[in-house]
Structure 1
Amino acid sequence: MSDEKTADQLRQELKDLDQELAELRRVGGDAAARRGQDSDTSEGYIEPEEIATELTGIAENEAIIDTLEQRRERLEEQLKALG
């Protein structure tokens, strides 16, 4: 059996990847929108560590999105090569 993927398998992978990217973008947008907002239990001061954690999470999410977008491009190239 060959390790090469069929066009249908590549299309399904692209579909799954698009769903994952959409979810990561939604989560990233939510996190960016909440960045620096006080929580319900806050007394009006946000700890620098909290801000750093939020920023790190946003940066990590963006890095994952970049990696998945590169993977998506490779899958599209493979699909085009199949004709």
Structure 2
Amino acid sequence: MIKLVAIDTDGTLLNSQGEIQDSTKEAISKALDRGVKVRPLFRPANRGALAPYMNELGIKGEDQYAVTLNGAISRKASGEIMTSDLIAN
């Protein structure tokens, strides 16, 4: 049984135009319907850049989150920061 799907954005989740294909949305929707956790891995760390993609994919709820900024920040679908491990200059 698959419990988790982790998806990188560039070239995997997003096509060369920065869009999510309908077939990808359908596959993610089916996974979510089956209780599979979907963890997008996004380069942008801010909520404003992340929210449209999370909404488009239907990833919502307190138990859903995305990993951003090369793993340095984890954000809930609501935008709340769960973990942050940034190195200050």
If the length of structure 1 is used for normalisation, what is the TM-score?
0.30
If the length of structure 2 is used for normalisation, what is the TM-score?
0.29
Point out the structure with the larger helix share.
Answer: 1
Q: Which has the higher contact order (CA 8 A, sep 6+)?
A: 1
Higher alpha-carbon Rg: 1
Point out the structure with the larger strand share.
Answer: 2
